[in-house]
Amino acid sequence: MAAEHPAPVVRQLRLVVEAADHEAAVAFFRDALGLPEEAAFTGDGDARVVILDAGRATLEITNPAQKRMIDEVEVGRQVAPRIRVAFEVDDARATTARLVAAGASEIAPPTRTPWQSLNSRLDAPADLQITVFQELGRPQERTVDPDPDGDV
């Protein structure tokens, strides 16, 4: 049970990613994925950072069994590193195609999950493995379907 707080303790989740090819990573996540640029800063010694707005943030903490199950559903085998970044989009198929055209490597195409979303898995710039997902119904309509393909 979650502890109740009178006011939010955390105001923002910011995932900080080091990218050896900074320009390519910014172009991919800002231009291809469509994350709006919120701020950009430079510093001594060619130090650069671009902060992109990724909408609402959540921190999804899984145990090893859940991580393995998600890999099996989305990809069909164990592939995820310890940290994977997931982005909710309006059209998983179109976004996946756009990101592959922008340089991502498709690990698995958009796949309907038992939790009623359409998920694809990609290797993206900055050595990130990402999931692109599209919710297929309103939250109250989503149920876990043990056989999303209707094979049972």
Q: In whole numbers, what is the pLDDT of the chain averaged over residues?
A: 89
Mean pLDDT within 47-67: 94
**pTM, rounded to two decimals:** 0.83
State the pLDDT at residue 142.
45
What is the rounded distance in angstroms from the CA atom of residue 52 to the CA atom of residue 25? Answer: 11
- Would you say residue 88 has pLDDT above 80? yes
What is the rounded distance in angstroms from the CA atom of residue 117 to the CA atom of residue 148? Answer: 10
State the pLDDT at residue 152.
34
Structure tokens that stand for 52 in this block: 């992109």
**33 DSSP β-pair partners:** none
Tens digit of each residue's pLDDT (9 = 90 or more) over 89-138: 999 999 999 999 999 999 999 999 999 999 999 999 999 999 999 999 86
Structure tokens that stand for 64 in this block: 């090893």
